[in-house]
Amino acid sequence: MHKLDPRAKIIWAVVVLAFSIYNGNYLLSPIYGAVIYASVIIALIISRPPAFWLKLVGILTVVVLFFSLIFWPASAPRGGVPILTIPILGWSYTDLVLNLALSKAFLVLSPIIAVITMLTTSKPGDLFQALVRCKVPYKIAYIPILALRFLPTIINEVKLIIDAQESRALNLRKGNLPSRLRKYVTIFTPLMIRMMKSAIELGVALDSKGFGLSCQRTFSKNLRWEFRDTLFLIFGGLIYVLGLIFCIMPFVR
């Protein structure tokens, strides 16, 4: 996944979204939803992301399934055959309700995991280049990429400021809600002042490199669409199309 062109991954994420939308609104097949979900999970696992992402996806899956099983039954069609009762909670579901709830859960989950996979397997610089090649003005495209570059610095700064303020007896976990919120002023004020200093320094650094002088942005290393990118898209598309054909067969429905 890491070696693929970011544009191939963007197209793949859009394809996942499209098939998920079709399933979540028209087909309503939990099996097909699970096929798409499995494909994005496999893509995420083989890309070997940090454990944080796997944990996050696991938690997200459980919580979204839980929410869907609670909220979607109210909008489900009446009738159907009772097929599941969850012990302890006592929730019972007909086939129609379960199809709707699970399909909607997969509609939420699969595109999100596809995007996570795309982001964790692409370098910010490559994503920037992909956006520019997709005709996004490079000054606009540069903002999120620059922000991503500074994100770890900012997160470290926040932690450093919290530590510094806690060493001066600030306790962010103590007090009622308004007083706890008020304490965040002591975190965000120094952070903002440091940010403004950085903005001036960064502006000078960008100017010194001639940022914005030319309308045409060039790159030291150009993205190249290779055969494996095409193969990846064909293979991914085949899985979704074959899965769809399989799921609309009478014996599955």
Binding site for another protein (CB under 8 A): 17, 21, 24-25, 53, 56-57, 60, 63-64, 67-68, 70-72, 74-75, 104-105, 107-108, 111-112, 115-116, 119, 139, 142-144, 146-148, 150-151, 153-155, 158-159, 177-178, 181-182, 184-185, 187-189, 191-193, 195-196, 198-200, 202-207, 211-212
Nearer to another protein, 174 or 224 (CB): 174
We find the least distance from the C-beta atom of residue 184 to another protein, in angstroms, to be: 5
Q: In Å, how far are 10, 117, 130, 212 from 126, measured between CA atoms?
A: 12, 15, 6, 19
We find the least distance from the C-beta atom of residue 169 to another protein, in angstroms, to be: 19
We find the least distance from the C-beta atom of residue 200 to another protein, in angstroms, to be: 7
Nearer to another protein, 55 or 228 (CB): 55
Nearer to another protein, 81 or 143 (CB): 143
We find the least distance from the C-beta atom of residue 51 to another protein, in angstroms, to be: 14
Nearer to another protein, 166 or 226 (CB): 166
Q: What angle do CA 212, 217, 222 make, to 5 degrees?
A: 150
- Alpha-carbon distance of 28 to 96, in angstroms, equals 9
Nearer to another protein, 21 or 164 (CB): 21
We find the least distance from the C-beta atom of residue 60 to another protein, in angstroms, to be: 5
Nearer to another protein, 8 or 100 (CB): 100
We find the least distance from the C-beta atom of residue 82 to another protein, in angstroms, to be: 20
Residue 24 · residue 107 · CB < 8 Å:
yes
